[in-house]
Structure 1
Amino acid sequence: MFGFGKKAKKPDGIDILIIKADEAKNRNIYQVAFPSLVANDILSMLQKLEKSKLNTQNVLGEIGGFRIVTHLEALTGYDVLDDADIEAHPVEIQDFANMLLRRLEALDENGDLGESEDLAFIMGELTMLRDGSFVPQT
């Protein structure tokens, strides 16, 4: 649309997903940052969660009903120009996964979720993201 061409992925780059949660009270936009090296896996998992029946406020809390609006690929850096605005600060994928996983674990412990393959897959992926085993440590 703007004439930006695809550039070769840089293994040491940073990808950022801009995720919108229209019904959230505290923040409507999350910028989720992660290494470009694992971008396809993370994007695929979050798109699966976005399309699943788990993507509701009853299940995911504030982020429920989210949609991924932009994927910025292979950045070499970024500057936050408004330090006072929490939405201006990217959230590391480990922190974002931890936020979602805490919510799912609490509902699962209460028996509010039931059993499903989607739930098992998403919780497994989020656990690996939270623990850092999914994303290479630098």
Structure 2
Amino acid sequence: MSFASAEENPAPKISQTATAGTTAADVGLNVNLDVLGIANQIADAIKSSQNRDGFVKNLMESSFYASGQKYNVMVFNLSQEYEDHLNGVQFYGSAVYDGITYGIWVFEDGTFTNKGDGGWINWAFRGWFDRDGSTVEFHRP
């Protein structure tokens, strides 16, 4: 099974409610695909972030645990160049922190290459992987 990036093949937007009276959009979360039903937990993580690298790490951890620790997760600053070949995408959404939009992917396996700057402020990933510099090869658990 192969997957085109959200830029190449955008999924229809799905409206999700974050918590009582707060929508995902209220906290800057745009959900395009949510097979696992984890958007609310990710929206809660967005509300609690105090700084940019903490925001990125929190999105990564929240997505990993909300998906039952069964999938790989990539959070990436979409203003940076990248190439992705991700399979079995279970969730895709985007979140904004201080004007910067981050993509959030929860998926089975594939390859992701960061063609921009690294560091916690630009990307974070978790799961089962081998990393060679800016290229990460993800495997199924």
TM-score scaled by length of structure 2: 0.28
Task: Pick the structure with greater CA Rg.
Answer: 1
The structure in which a higher percent of residues are helix is 1
The structure in which a higher percent of residues are strand is 2
Q: Which has the higher contact order (CA 8 A, sep 6+)?
A: 1
